[in-house]
Amino acid sequence: MTDLDTAGTPIATFLNELASGESTPGGGAAAALTGSQAAALLSMVLNFTVGRRKYAAVEEELRGLLLRTEEMRAELLLYADKDAEAFGAVAACYSMPRSTTEEKDARTSAMQTALREAAEVPFAIAALCADLLELASPVAEKGNPNVVSDAATAAHLAHAALYSALVNVDINLKYLKDETFVSRMQAEVAELKASAASNYIAARAACTDVLGVEI
């Protein structure tokens, strides 16, 4: 496991870490970083809009959206590290001793705890990406049309990041023994996918209307 501080890591260094033979960072961290880029692009559109007289009627609303996108940008960047830490905890369990019944029980308990965290972290990433998809439509509809193509890119990135994060949720749920937790998480995943699908369609439609090209 590598030590990672995504918020202070140059992108080339992060990509080198991602491409290395180390287990972390991995797909979950990549999903979080992609989601953070989606948030940054929505912030860009909003920053090209707020403070301009032409958009005075929606100034207050868009400033509020900008606060949200900036908060999510920072939070998703932090989740890149949290995901690496969560997977590192799972990996550490494989090296725990298992010579005795007590050791085996301790290893199993630690693994189940780690797997639960390793499912919850990417789910949080996916949930933030779903929120970004919800924001993409009003940003495209009310933001500066000169940069709405960036809102379209944000929608595609958030959608990809969401489903990438959910891969990591599903794979960890597969090995969890707590059936109540697994059932609850699976229901929440299904609900998240449904809302994200609707918001993705709406975001694409809003961008298409403004840009005049199918996105």
Give the whole-angstrom CA distance, residue 182 versus residue 118: 13
Domain enclosing residue 166, as ranges = 6-211
Give the whole-angstrom CA distance, residue 196 versus residue 134: 8
**Predicted local confidence at residue 9, as pLDDT:** 78
Average pLDDT by consecutive 10-residue portion of the chain (215 residues)?
A: 63 91 90 98 98 96 98 97 93 94 96 97 98 98 98 98 98 97 98 97 98 94
**Predicted local confidence at residue 1, as pLDDT:** 39
Residue 33's closest CA among 61, 52, 5?
5
Contact 149, 211 (CB under 8 A): yes
| Radius of gyration, alpha carbons of the chain | 20
**Predicted local confidence at residue 2, as pLDDT:** 45
Question: Is 116 within a domain?
Answer: yes
Question: Is 112 within a domain?
Answer: yes
CATH number of the domain enclosing 153 = 1.20.120.680
Question: Is 26 within a domain?
Answer: yes
DSSP 2-64: ----GGGS-HHHHHHHHHSSSS-S-HHHHHHHHHHHHHHHHHHHHHTTTT-GGGGGGHHHHHH
Question: Is 1 within a domain?
Answer: no
Give the whole-angstrom CA distance, residue 204 versus residue 207: 5
Global pTM reads: 0.93
Residue 59's closest CA among 49, 68, 67, 69?
49
**Predicted local confidence at residue 23, as pLDDT:** 82
**Predicted local confidence at residue 11, as pLDDT:** 86
Question: Is 96 within a domain?
Answer: yes
Question: Is 54 within a domain?
Answer: yes
**Predicted local confidence at residue 5, as pLDDT:** 67
DSSP 160-208: HHHHHHHHHHHHHHTT---HHHHHHHHHHHHHHHHHHHHHHHHHHHHHH
Number of domains in the chain: 1
Question: Is 38 within a domain?
Answer: yes
